Structure 1
Amino acid sequence: MKTTIDIPEKELRDAMRFTNAKTKREAVIKAIEDFNRRSRVEALIAQAGTIPDFPTNDEIERADVEDAENQRKLWEG
């Protein structure tokens, strides 16, 4: 999407320096990508502890073994 914006020259220079961008466009894209990544991480952190406990790997494996046994018993009759 093409957009015209007025970015302070010092801020753009700093963005280019910190992102190692060769062009202004690259610096802006990298800055936006970084902002979006950080925002996603913050959103995930905000959700921490709100999801119910998941079964452990051992519990899942135990359930898989039980399911396989039950399936075997059904096929054997």
Structure 2
Amino acid sequence: MSNLYVEVDDDALSEAAEILGTKTKKDTVNAALLEVAKRRRRLKALDELAAKGERGDFDVLLDNENCRR
């Protein structure tokens, strides 16, 4: 874990703490950083899923004969 001393916007920090449900400044900053990283991973996964759809990788699901009953 790194020690980092920065000035932060108190209003933004307070709002982030409310949204994230955190109690301390440290927890708020760490949760916000983690949320940004998770968001990026989700967006990447969504892009990959969309690309598979564009390639037709899921077309087999449209064929009713391939559906389980």
Question: How far has the Cα of 1:50 moved from its partner?
Answer: 3.8
Q: Deviations over 1:30-60 (max 9, x none)?
A: 1111111111010111112445748xxxxxx
RMSD: 2.1
Tell me what 2:64 maps to.
none
Pair 1:21 & 2:22 matched: yes
Tell me, which stretches of 5 or more residues in structure 2 are unaligned? 59-69
Residue of structure 2 in register with 1:33 after alignment: 34
- Give the number of the structure whose alpha-carbon radius of gyration is greater: 1
In the superposition, the TM-score normalised over structure 1's length comes to 0.60
What is the distance in 1 between the residues matched to 2:44 and 2:27? Answer: 26
Structure 1 residues not aligned, in runs of 5+: 55-77
Runs of 4+ in 1 over 4 A off after TM superposition: none
Query: When the two structures are superposed, what TM-score results if normalisation uses the length of structure 2?
Result: 0.66
Identity %: 20
Q: How many residues align structurally?
A: 56
